[in-house]
Structure 1
Amino acid sequence: MTATLRDVAQLAGVSFKTVSNVINDYPHVSEATRVRVQAAIDQLGYRPNRTARTLRSGRTGAIGLAVPELSLAYFAELADEVITAADERDIVVLIEQTGGDRRRELEVLNGSRRQLTDGLLFSPLALGNEDAALLDVGYPLVLLGERIFDGPVDHVTMENVAGARAATEHLIASGRSRIAVVGAHAGEVIGSAGLRVAGYRSALEAHGLPYAEELVVDSGPWHRANGAEAMRMLLARRVSFDAVFALNDELALGALRVLREQGVDVPGQVAIIGFDDVDEGRYSLPSLSTVDPGRREIARLAVEVLLDRISGVETGGRRELRSGFRVIPRESTAASVTV
């Protein structure tokens, strides 16, 4: 037999309403009562009836998460963190993949599937600052990523410029001075690539190192294959370099593969650092130094901010929140020699 709310109330020795208050995380329930009710829920294996809850509250108990591409490890791991953060609040996450396509991103914002959720976490790739007005929708929306700033909705993002500067300074501190960049997007200012290149240039300037255009290699989407191709292009230029800042870990892993194929000692001859701290980087050979952009904090903040909006919590206007970051040194930057 499936346990009911009344079964939980009887076992816990409290009223039906008290159990409901605990399940819905209402305030003014004593900690002792909350613990007793939760113990009864666990013992009986009670699961709330979401359909009944939806009918009573007008909410679905679900939120949406729209990301460009789940084949990219960063977005897959971000989705995992969002699901974990939402599950702690008894919220279901429905995930959509846009492919970074403008039409599909607009469909995510305005399509009929929005009726299935109470709000949306949205990470656009095709939409930009000029499209900010399109985010003024009639439901709770929290923006993720770096494509749109100063829009009409809450925004949770990372310290791209500061994180990229710290990555570059880590290479400089290890004795490197000819630092290449893999993964730039020509002409981009707002966006992950533009912001991370800005951080790289800031570090060079602060340490009196010249910016050399021949050391900056553009690429398409930030996949390993494009990182490998960008490294082949850099090697074909026959310019000297003793370090590489790859603008994400996928690019770094592709570049690392080509360096090893060409017999380049990493990190002896060339040090390499990525960005994003995806799990695979811990197990590459050598293991990949990287920047942890605070993915778990981004997920937690985004879920909290969205649920505040869904619940009607007064926040004093739109918010822009940034996660902390840290450089994680690993084997790919562990040594420096004069080449």
Structure 2
Amino acid sequence: MAPTLKDVAALAGVSIKTVSNVVNGYGFVKAENRRRVEEALQATGYRPNVGARNLRRGRTGCIAMIVPELGVPYFGELVSLVITAAADRDWTVLIEQTQGVREREREALSALGPHIVDGAILSPEALTADDLTAGDPGVPFVILGEHWLPASADRVAIDNVAAARAAVSHLAGLGRRRIAAIGTNPARGTAALRLRGYREALAEAGLEYREELVAPAAKYHRRDGAQAMADLLDLPQPPDAVFCFNDLLAMGALRTAADRGLWVPDDVAVAGFDNIEEAAYAHPRLTTVAPDKQAIAETAVELLRARTGGGDGPEPRDVVAPFRLEVRGSTRPRGPMSGPRP
């Protein structure tokens, strides 16, 4: 039979309560007793019943993370960081993807109950304010990203307007004058914010906003970026720089530029958004907005932990995570240092 707390206590020569305190990480145990208990735990191979322990504490030991697409590297990387942060707080993470479809987001939220998870972290694309009430009021949640939703829950996001403005200002500072944007999509709240930052940067640089230089994207995948870039390059006056609303769109844009025989960045500079791992290995290496994903994950999990401590807690908090512009080869200045054409 599996060893019990009583077995460990007998071997260590201490009380069952002392063994329980050590197993549960409580600090009020003498150093010598803790050492003896830890040795007895190793000798007996005792493993705590996590489910029973969580039940006694009134928690499940699990949280949910709801994202649009795990196949989009930004979300995959963010999920990995959340799993690590949650593990440090003795949580297991259940993952759900919604494809950004409102009904699937509603279903994922409404399926959560306090008997399933202690809380949830969600990155919605289509939820409305009314949809948020579909969730069980006993399950706290944290929203990732800037959204049109009312501040009824804690949120963590970067300043998308400022981030987009920084990227486009960088392109304008290189002397680019026909700066295009790829990624407008009325179904995505962040797209509107990044478009706003794009327009503000153009205005600050004294450049005219031109509708023909703004390309929509149904999805934020490589093929969408490739098609949008093709449409832009077919214009009578094609762009000399492109700001893409995520890195996958930028990867597609780079592919199309290469297929057309264009040299990046001399013929057209390309910048992205998200700083996924692939961006550092593109050819040329991609300039991109780099959200602090580590800070986003850590903050989201910590906000959730605070909400599961009992009581109503403070008013919903809105945390702005930092970002930086990672300047790489895809936006080098024109000139002799740009390197030879292939």
Q: Identify which of 321, 324, 330 aligns with 1:323.
A: 321
| Counterparts of residues 296-307 of structure 1 (less than 5 Å) | 296-307=294-305
In 1, Cα distance between equivalents of 2:80 and 2:239: 37
* Aligned amino acid, residue 238 of structure 2: S
Equivalent in the alignment of 2:184? 184
For normalisation by structure 2, the TM-score amounts to: 0.86
* Aligned amino acid, residue 195 of structure 1: L
Cα pair 1:136 1:153 within 8 Å, conserved:
no
Unaligned stretches of 5+ residues in structure 1: none
Unaligned stretches of 5+ residues in structure 2: 337-342
Deviation at 1:30, TM superposition (A): 8.4
Deviation at 1:65, TM superposition (A): 0.4
Distance 1:149 1:192, change over 3 A: same
Deviation at 1:43, TM superposition (A): 5.6
In 2, Cα distance between equivalents of 1:289 and 1:151: 33
Cα pair 2:112 2:135 within 8 Å, conserved:
no
In 2, Cα distance between equivalents of 1:274 and 1:31: 55
Equivalent in the alignment of 1:82? 82
Equivalent in the alignment of 1:170? 170
Q: Identify which of 193, 196, 199 aligns with 1:198.
A: 196
What secondary structure, in the 3-state scheme, does the structure 1 residue paired with 2:183 have? strand
What secondary structure, in the 3-state scheme, does the structure 2 residue paired with 1:274 have? strand
In 2, Cα distance between equivalents of 1:245 and 1:179: 7
| Counterparts of residues 21-40 of structure 1 (less than 5 Å) | 21=21, 24=24
* Aligned amino acid, residue 191 of structure 1: G
Deviation at 1:238, TM superposition (A): 2.6
Deviation at 1:112, TM superposition (A): 5.6
Distance 1:107 1:315, change over 3 A: same
Cα pair 2:181 2:214 within 8 Å, conserved:
yes
In 1, Cα distance between equivalents of 2:195 and 2:95: 30
Equivalent in the alignment of 1:221? 219
Equivalent in the alignment of 2:248? 250
Cα pair 2:112 2:139 within 8 Å, conserved:
no
Which shows bigger deviation, 114-123 or 306-315?
Answer: 306-315
Cα pair 1:214 1:239 within 8 Å, conserved:
no
Deviation at 1:35, TM superposition (A): 9.2
What secondary structure, in the 3-state scheme, does the structure 1 residue paired with 2:90 have? coil
Equivalent in the alignment of 1:274? 272
Equivalent in the alignment of 1:261? 259
Equivalent in the alignment of 1:62? 62
Give the number of equivalent residue pairs: 335
Deviation at 1:109, TM superposition (A): 1.4
Cα pair 2:65 2:93 within 8 Å, conserved:
yes
Equivalent in the alignment of 2:150? 150
Cα pair 1:135 1:153 within 8 Å, conserved:
no
Deviation at 1:227, TM superposition (A): 0.5
Q: Identify which of 289, 292, 309 aligns with 1:294.
A: 292
In 1, Cα distance between equivalents of 2:159 and 2:5: 45
Distance 1:138 1:77, change over 3 A: same
In 1, Cα distance between equivalents of 2:281 and 2:318: 34
In 2, Cα distance between equivalents of 1:217 and 1:42: 62
* Aligned amino acid, residue 163 of structure 2: G
For normalisation by structure 1, the TM-score amounts to: 0.87
> Are 1:116 and 2:96 matched, yes or no?
no
After superposition, the C-alpha distances for 1:180-235 in whole angstroms (9 at most, x for unaligned) are 1011125x7x7111001111111111222221211111111111110111111111
In 2, Cα distance between equivalents of 1:250 and 1:30: 53
After superposition, the C-alpha distances for 1:223-274 in whole angstroms (9 at most, x for unaligned) are 1110111111111223232111000001000111000110110011111110
Q: CA RMSD in A?
A: 3.1
* Aligned amino acid, residue 233 of structure 1: D
Distance 1:234 1:135, change over 3 A: farther
Equivalent in the alignment of 1:98? 98
Deviation at 1:295, TM superposition (A): 1.2
What secondary structure, in the 3-state scheme, does the structure 2 residue paired with 1:245 have? strand
In 2, Cα distance between equivalents of 1:150 and 1:214: 33
After superposition, the C-alpha distances for 1:272-298 in whole angstroms (9 at most, x for unaligned) are 110001111111111111111111111
Equivalent in the alignment of 2:51? 51
In 2, Cα distance between equivalents of 1:331 and 1:41: 58
Deviation at 1:148, TM superposition (A): 3.5
Cα pair 1:153 1:318 within 8 Å, conserved:
yes
Deviation at 1:14, TM superposition (A): 7.2
